[in-house]
Structure 1
Amino acid sequence: MPKTDSSDAPQAYQSVVLTKEPAKVRRVTLSTSLPGAAPAKVVAAVAVVTVLAMTLVPTDAIGIGIALTGLAVLAAVFAASPERPTVPELITAAGIVALLLVSGWRSAGWLAAVCTAIAILATGTLVVGARTIREMAAAVVAPIVALVPTAAWLGRGIADGARDRPVKNLGAILQVAVVTVVLLVVFGALFAGADATFESLLNTVLPDVGDTEVGPSVVLGLVIGGATAIGIYLRYARPRLADRSPRTSAEPWMWAVPTGTVLVLYIAFLITQARAMFGGDDYVQETAGLTYADYARTGFWQLFAVTALTILVVSIAWQRADRSTSTGRVLTRTILGGLCIAALAVVASALHRMDLYMDTFGATRLRVGVMATELWLGAVLVALIIAGAGLGTRQLPRALGFLTMVAALSFAVYNPDERIAQANVDRFERTGKVDLIYLANLSSDATEALLGLPVDLQECVLRGIGRDLADEHGPTAFNVGRHEAREALDGREPGSAAAPVSCAPR
C-alpha cells in the first residue's frame, strides 16, 4: 500500500489538525476553602438575623431599629465567616453602623435613604474585600450574581444538617408547637388588653397580614436574611477578578494634547469668571444681560458636570501616561495636577453661584444636596492631587471610600432640613417672601427653625410635622429628630386651629 504524503492532505484537514484552541481564561476565581455546603453556624446566623430583622426593622417610619438590624447583620457576617475581621474591616464596619444610625438620629427620610444606600454599598465592598476600583465596581453586582449559588449553598447546608440530625418524635414536636402558639396568642391578647404600652409593642413586633397587605416585617426579614446569607457566602468565596493584561503606555503627545487643551480652556474660563466675580452685578448685566442671581443659576449645573468630567479625564489620562521616566512624571503631574487645581477653582465658582442663587430664590433639598455633592467632588480632587504628588494611588480607592462615608456623615451633622428651613426663614425676614407649601413638606428636623416664622404662618408649615408626631410608631422607630421636635413644640398641636390658614406662597 503506497504511503500518503501529509502534504497531499486537504488544506481544510491540515487546518483542523494544526489549529489549537486557546485555553479559556477565568475572569473570576473563588477561594479553594469554600465548602460545598453552608456550615451549621452559617445557617444559624442567617436564621437569627431573619428573626431579628422581622422584629427590629420599623415599617411605618425610620428609626433606631434600622441601625440595630444593620449591626446584627454585620455581627452575623463576621461571626459566621471563616476568618477574623481585620482592623480596616472593623473600621469600615463602624462607619457602616454610623451611617445607619442616621435613621435613628435625623427624621428626614431622604437623608436616611442616602446614608443607608452608601452603607449598603460599603457593606458590599466589605464582604468582597475590594481593594481596587475594579473590585469595588464588581462588589455592586456581586450580590446579584451570587444569589443563586448562595441559595443552593445554603440549601445544601440545611439538608446536611437535617440528615445529620434526623428529627425524632415529629408528632410530639408539632403538638408542642401548636400549644405554644395558642398560649402566646391567648396570653398576648390578655396582656395587650391590660396595658396600652404593651399593645403598642405587639403591634410593632407582629406584622399585619390582612387581606390587602402582606406582612412587610416578614418580607423585610426574609430579604435581609437572604442578604446576610449572600454576605457570608462572599466572605467564604472571596471572589477575585483576573488580572488585566498590562496596558502599554501611550506616547506623551497622545494624552498631553487633549488634556493640555482642556487645561488652556480652563484657564480662559477662570479669567472670565474672575472678571464676573469681581465686576459684580453691573458687569454681568452689561455683558450677559442677566441679573447676578440669574447668571449664577444658568451656570451651576454646567460647572457641576465639568467637575465630574474632569475627575474622569484625569483618571483615564493617569492610566495612559508613561511615568517611568522623570520627564514623564513631571509632564503628568504638571498637566493633570494643573487640571485638578483648575477644577478646584471651578468648584469654588460653582459653590459661589449656588450660594447667590439660594440667597435670592431660597434653599431647597435639591440645591443643598448638589452643593454637598460639589463639595465632595472637590474633596475627591484634593485626594487625587495628594496621590499624584507622590504618595501613590495604591490606597486611593479605599481613601475615596472612606472620604465618601465621612462626607455623608458630615452632611447628616449639617442637618440639611433644619438649614433649609432657617435659610428660608431668614429670607422671609429680609424680603417677606416664603414658599409655605415647600416648608410644610420638611421633616421634623426643621421644627425649631420653623418656629422662627410668625405664629399664623407656623400653623401652616407645622401641620405635617404635627401629624407625624401624633402617630405612635413604636420603640424600634424611635428617632431623635422627632423627639426633639416634640420638646420644641412643648405640647402644642399644630393644625388644630379652628380657622383654616392659607399656605399659598408669599
Structure 2
Amino acid sequence: MSDQSPDQSPDTSVRPELSPESGGTGESVSGAGLPSTAAAEPKSEAPAGEPAQASAPPVPPQASAPPVPPQNAGPAASAGLRTSPVTDVWQRRGQKPPPGVLSRLRPPSPPAAASATLWSVLATALLSALLLADGLGPNLLIVAVPAALGAYFAARSAGRVLKPWTASWAVGGLALLVIPALREAGWPVFLAVVSALALGSLALHGSRSWPGVLLGSLGLFPSVAGGVRWGWRGVRARAGDSGGRVRAVVRSAAVAAVLLVVFGALFASADAAFADLLGSLTPDVSIGDSPWRVFLFVLGAAGALTAAYSAAAPVRWDGITVRPGKARERAEWAIPLIVLNLLFAAFIALQLVVLLGGYDKVLEETGLLPAEYARQGFWQLLWATVLTLLVIALALRWAPRGGPRDRILVRSVLGVLCVLTLVVVASALRRMDLYVHAFGLTRLRISVAAVELWLGVVLILIIAAGIFGARMLPRAIAASAAVGVMAFGLLSPDGMIAEQNVHRYTSDSTSGKTIDIEYLKGLSADAVPALNELPEPLRSCVLEHFQRDLALDDTPWYATSWGEARARDILKAASVQNHGTECYGLGQEADERDGFEEEPSYDPY
C-alpha cells in the first residue's frame, strides 16, 4: 500500500485519474505497462446545462510525467506492471483488531457511573465485609439489596426501561435469598444461591431466546473486568466534577462514626441491657480476620460493579442465533418417532396392568421383591425421561417445515410422545414411593424424585408450547426451575426426611421397622423438630449431637437461620438426657421386609 497521495506527485502537467483497478495508488496502468493517454486528454464537450469551459491544448504523450510508483512497492510496480494491493501481515499502529463476540453483542460504552450507583456499590462492599464473614443467613439478602439498587440506578442512567420480565427475574432472585435465612441445611441453600445469581443475571441482560436464557444466566462473568474499569472511571469523573463535595461527605461520615463510637460506648457502659442489644446488633470485628474481611470487601465491590455495568451495558445474548437443521422428509422424520411411541405405549400398557391388580403376578414371574422391583425401575425411567427430552429437541431441529400439514404432523407425533412420557414420569414416581415406604427417605432419594417431578413439568410446558406457541418456552422453563428450587427450600428437605423416617418408625411398632439414627445425626438443624418426636432413648441419642454443636456455635443473628434458632429453642425447652452406652446399637438392627434383609449401612442411592 502506498503512503503517497496523487496530490503529492512531482511537477506534472496532467493529474492521473483514480481508477478502481489501480489499487487506490493514484496511478492508472494499462495491460501493456504504458501510461494511459485517455486520462490526459481534455474533454471536448461540457455536460448539458453547464457553460463550456476553455479547453487546454493537448499535451504530447512524451511530455507527461511517468506515474510515480508507490513506496516499497517493489520492482514490478516500478516497471509499470499490474500489481495487487499488498496486505501488511503486521498490524500498523492505530489499526484496531476485529471486534470479538462480546464486543458485537454489547452496546457502546455506557455513561460514567452515577453517584447513586457508586454509593450503592460502597454500601454493598461494606456490608459484605461486616456481615458475610460469620456465615450465611439473613445477611446475604441484606447485602443483595444495595447491589440490586445500584444495578437499577445504572440501568436508569443508561436509559433502560424496567420491563415485566426483568422485574420478575429480579424479584425472584431476591426471593430465593430468603432460603438461607430460613434453612440451615447447606444443599438447598447452595441451590438457592446459585439460582438467585442466575435469575439476577437474566434480569440484567433481558434474554428471551434459548441461547439468551442459557448464556444469560451465566452472563455476569464476562463483565467483571469491564465493570471494575467502568466503576473506576466513574469514581474519577465524580471526584473531578464534585469539587469539595467528596471531601465534605468523607468528613461528615468520619464525624458521624466518631460520635457513634463515643456515645455508643458511654451508653453501653451505663446500661447492661443496652450493651447486650448493641453487642448483638453490631458485628464482632477482630484483627485476626481482617484479611478475610478485606477480601469480602473487594468481592462485594467487584460483584456490585459487575451487576451495575451489566445493567447499563448488557450483553445481548439473544444476538446469537442457532440455525435449524436441514429439514427431513416426512417419512424419514416420522417413522423413527412413531416406532418410539409404540414402544412407550407397550410399556405403559404393562404398567397399567400392574396398577390394576397384576402387581403380585409380575413379582411372581420376575422373582423380585416389591422393594427390588421399585428400586430396579426408577433410575431407568428417570434416564428414559431425560433422553426423551433430548429426542424431542433433536426432532424439532430436523422437523419438516413445508407447510401446515408438516406442522400438524410434528405437533401430533411429538405431542403423543410427550403425553406417553408423562405416564412414564408417573410410573417412576410411583416406584420411588414404594421404595421409600420400604426403606425410608434419604437426601438422594428426595432429590432425584424432585428432579423427576420437574421434568414432568417441563413436558407439560412443551405440550403447551405446541398448542399456544413456543415463544415463551425458554423463559417458562427457566421460571419453572426457579420455582422448583424455591419450593424445595421452603419445604425443608432435611425436615421432610426426618419426619418421614420418624413417622415410618412410630406408626406401626409391630411391623419390625427400624430407624437409622446414625444417618439422621448427619442431617441439619432443620430436622430437630421432627426428631424431637422420637421416644426415649432414641430422642436423646439422636439430639445429643445437635445440642453439642449448637451449644458451641455462637454465630450472630445475621448469620443464624430460622431453622437453627428454632432448634435451639426446642432443645432449651426439653433438654437431652444422657443415656451413656445405651445409645450404642440403637437403630442398627437389620431391616426385614418380605424376606429381604438390608444392612443399615446399605443405601443403593
Superposition TM-score tier, normalisation by shorter sequence:
0.7 to 0.9
Deviation at 1:65, TM superposition (A): 1.9
Distance across 1 between alignment mates of 2:406 and 2:246 = 78
Residue type at the aligned position of 1:87: P
TM-score by length of 2: 0.72
Structure 2, unaligned runs of 5 or more = 1-28, 35-75, 88-96, 589-605
Of stretches 116-125 and 258-267 in structure 1, the one that deviates more from structure 2 is 258-267
Q: Distance in 1 between matches of 2:262 and 2:559?
A: 27
- Compared with structure 1, are the counterparts of its residues 412 and 302 closer, same or farther at alpha carbon in structure 2 (3 Å cutoff)? same
Q: 2:309 aligns with which of 228, 233, 238?
A: 233
Amino acid at match of 1:450: L
Contact residue 33 and residue 236 of structure 1 kept, 8 A:
no
Structure-2 residue corresponding to 1:479: 561
Of 314, 317, 321, which residue of structure 1 is paired with 2:395? 317
CA contact (8 A) 2:114 2:153 kept: no
- 1:13-71 deviation digits (Å, cap 9, x = unpaired): 9997799xxx97864435545336434333222112211233343623x4222222223
Q: Secondary structure of the equivalent of 1:455?
A: coil
Deviations 1:251-307 (A, max 9, x none): 334432333333233223223333444456533433333212112112212211221
Rounded Cα–Cα distance in structure 2 between residues aligned with 1:434 and 1:275: 34
Of the structure 1 ranges 328-337 and 24-33, higher mean CA displacement relative to structure 2 is found in 24-33
For residue 311 of structure 1, report the CA deviation from its aligned partner: 1.6
Report % sequence identity: 33
Which residue matches 2:539?
458
Cα deviations across residues 53-97 of structure 1 (Å, max 9, x unaligned)?
Answer: 33343623x422222222332222112323342233222222222
Report the alpha carbon displacement of residue 354 of structure 1 after superposing the two structures with TM: 0.8
Is the counterpart of residue 96 in structure 1 residue 173 in structure 2?
Answer: yes
**Alignment equivalent of 2:417, drawn from 329, 339, 343:** 339
Instruction: Show the counterpart of 2:119.
Output: 44
Could you tell me how far 1:459 is from its partner in structure 2? 0.8
Larger radius of gyration: 2
TM-score, normalised with respect to structure 1: 0.85
Q: Residues 254 and 214 (structure 1 numbering): CA distance in 2 closer, same or farther, change over 3 Å?
A: farther
Does the Cα contact within 8 Å between 1:207 and 1:215 map onto a contact in 2?
A: no
**Corresponding residue pairs, total:** 490
SS at match of 1:57: helix
Between stretches 182-191 and 217-226, larger displacement belongs to 182-191
Residues 170-319 of structure 1 mapped to structure 2, 5 A cutoff: 195-202=275-282, 205-210=283-288, 213=289, 215-241=291-317, 242-244=319-321, 246-247=323-324, 248-278=326-356, 282-319=360-397
Change (3 A) 1:149 1:189: same
Q: Classify the secondary structure of the residue corresponding to 2:219.
A: helix
1:130 aligns with 2:130: no
What's the C-alpha RMSD, in Å, of the aligned pairs?
3.6
Displacement after TM superposition at 1:225 (Å): 2.7
Distance 1:337 1:176 in 2: 67
Give the match for residue 411 of structure 1: 488
Counterpart Cα distance in 2 of 1:421 and 1:2: 93
Report the counterpart of residue 38 of structure 2 in structure 1.
Answer: none
Q: Which amino acid aligns with 2:216?
A: A
2:438 aligned to 319, 341, 360, which one?
360
Give me the whole-angstrom Cα distance separating, in 2, the residues matched to 1:243 and 1:117: 24
On the 8 A contact 2:147/2:307 being kept in 1, the answer is no
1:437 aligns with 2:515: no
CA distance in 2, matches of 1:168, 1:356: 70
Q: Is the 2:547–2:571 contact (alpha carbons within 8 Å) kept by the matching residues of 1?
A: no
Contact 2:429 2:452 in 1 (8 A): yes
Q: How does 1:48-127 map to 2 (within 5 A)?
A: 48-57=123-132, 59-60=134-135, 62-82=136-156, 83-127=160-204
Relative to structure 1, the CA distance from residue 243 to residue 143 in structure 2 (aligned partners, 3 Å threshold; closer, same or farther) is closer
Deviation at 1:226, TM superposition (A): 1.5
**CA 1:380/1:15 → structure 2, altered by over 3 Å: closer, same or farther?**
farther
Cα–Cα, structure 1 residues 99 and 336, in superposed 2: closer, same or farther, change >3 Å? Answer: same
1:379 aligns with 2:457: yes
Distance in 2, Cα, partners of 1:411 & 1:14: 75
Q: Which stretches in structure 1 are left out of the alignment for 5+ residues?
A: none
Any residues of structure 2 matched to 1:145-156 within 5 Å, and which? 145-156=222-233
- SS of the aligned residue for 2:583 comes to coil
In 2 relative to 1, CA 280–25 (structure 1 residues): closer, same or farther, beyond 3 Å? farther
| 1:440/1:463 contact within 8 Å kept | no
Match of 1:447 among 510, 513, 528: 528
Taking the aligned partners of 1:329 and 1:313, their CA distance within structure 2 comes to 17
The amino acid that maps onto 1:122 is: L
Are 2:112 and 2:233, in contact at CA under 8 Å, matched by a contact in 1?
yes
8 Å CA contact retained: 1:448, 1:488: yes
- Note the C-alpha offset of 1:441: 2.0
Q: 1:413 to 1:491 in 2, by over 3 A?
A: same
2:184·2:564 contact (CA, 8 Å) conserved in 1? yes
C-alpha spacing 1:483/1:331, structure 2 compared with 1 (3 Å): same
Task: Give the aligned residue type for 1:126.
Answer: A
Q: Which residue of 1 aligns with 2:448?
A: 370
- Give the Å deviation of 1:123: 0.7
Map of 1:421 onto structure 2: 498
C-alpha contact 1:128 1:234 (8 A) present in aligned 2: yes
Report the residue type matching 1:198 in the other structure. L
When structure 1 is superposed on structure 2, of 226-235 and 105-114 the one drifting more is 105-114
Provide the secondary structure at the position in 2 that maps to 1:462. Answer: helix
CA 243–145 in structure 1, closer or farther in 2 if over 3 Å, else same:
closer
Q: What is the CA–CA distance in structure 1 between the aligned matches of 2:313 and 2:246, rounded to whole Å? A: 38
Corresponding letter in the other structure for 1:123: G
Change in CA separation of 1:322 and 1:367 when aligned onto 2, cut-off 3 Å: same
